[in-house]
Structure 1
Amino acid sequence: MSAGAGVRTVGVVHVYRVAGTDVAALRGVDLTVAPGERVALLGPSGSGKSTLLSVIAGLRRPSAGAVFVDGEDIARFSEAQLYGYRSAGLGLMMQGTVSNLLPYASPRENVRFVAGRPRPGRSADPGAEALAAAGLVDDRRPVGALSRADQQATALAVAMAGPPRLLLVDEPTSQLDDDARERLLDTLVTATSAAGTTVVMVTHDEAVAHRMQRMVRMREGRVGAEGRRHDQYAVIGADGSVQLPEELMVGWPAGSTVMVAAESPDVITIRRRPAAGQEQS
């Protein structure tokens, strides 16, 4: 049985205030991630993907909805319960990870600080294995003196120390070149597969998303489509809404009126409303 945690969000809404105005970052997100599955959240800036990740991490409370991790609704947890949830079984690799590391300590010291002393009978720690895969086990330089790629590799190793049942990752490769990106993703996929860890990763990079097992596309605070690699399926919202692919939005902008007809139980058609004077009487 997989060691990974199952994740399910139901109707998650998150509203925050900016200059006295309410802004909805999430507008009813329904998402299911199976134990041990690796899922990428894709979408433009402001689509809500990082907010969703922080809600699953228990760093923000949803304004409405439920967030189930292994069947428990963490949205209802007390602060003490959330601390326990984040401390046991959750790995975080967020943006600005360097600020979450000990800059004066070596990569190995950073991992040991999180993992603690080796326990008899426990198999090799994925954090230490991730560090070895990056060639940083014997590097005694402080993390603050490392390259960006090595800092990110250390951050991944720290996040995998334990190991976690759920790993949440936010834009891990945004400042890496192609070679460093692929090395980091190789390590992440290998380490999480071996440990059975569930992964939810936020990225804007299609190449990164393709390294996960499933891609979920977000837009305007909602899940718009999901699927594996090139097989993307639109997701019908609780209100019956369906987001059009972005490439169609140019010719079918918001406010367009259309006719929706069922051709069969499995096929519907969408037709633009005829221009004025062309409608049939």
Structure 2
Amino acid sequence: MKLLRYGAPGAEKPGLLDKDGRVRDLSQIVLDIAGAVLEPEGLAALRALDPDSLPVVAGIPQVDLRLGPCVGGIGKFVCIGLNYADHAEEAGMAIPQEPIIFNKWTSAVVGPNDAISVPRGSVKTDWEVELGVVIGKPGAYIEETDALDHVAGFCVINDVSERDFQLNRAGTWDKGKGCDTFGPTGPWLVTPDEIEDVNQLDMWLDVDGERMQSGSTSTLIFKVPHLIAYCSQFMSLQPGDVISTGTPPGVGMGQTPERYLHGGEVVTLGIAGLGQQRSQVLPAG
């Protein structure tokens, strides 16, 4: 299934994408794509529905029908740093011996085609295409062999980052990661049964039509099961929590000379099987 949320910001309704690319309304079935709906029993109930029995929502998704973040009520937005060896190299940092964890504040989360706003005082706003893992089954101290049982689905994330805030403002990565609009998420949550191999997904990102990032989840240092098990040693994972798994090389910080977003650019990105995003970049207000 491809689950989504559509409508005006803050008033999104739940839906799913049918085989013809139309949005089907789920608002008479569930309140949101969130919480218990993402647990195995909730997903099984949605999977048992006949999409043809659900109302068609007018409009073409991501054209004249706005999509919101594909997960509602995100509790924790956990990010993994330097999880591609070639990205660590371009950043001039050592390959980590265990996963680096930081947070993206949930107030950063926006829809896949919503604008990205450069924050006030920014000089190094950057882009990062990433695979997002959405938790369904809750748990703590999860065994790696059981980790995929806890996954509700996967999605595209742009881990927008302000490098000066991240690296030069007293050493706390979080303050460069959680600015408003820095978490475009979606377009849809794709359940694991639709993904043949999550470790073989091509990913890409363009700025104004120029290819900047081109990679694959096959080169992740720490794979999805390990990340779930690892994170669960430090926090319980709840339905709707998101783990963003890191970015391949090609970020602005890694360019020669460095290249950043200042406003006016269009950032497009996608992951095979998970959809695409397109965001206009707005200058600092």
Q: TM-score w.r.t. structure 2 length?
A: 0.23
What's the TM-score, normalizing by structure 1?
0.24
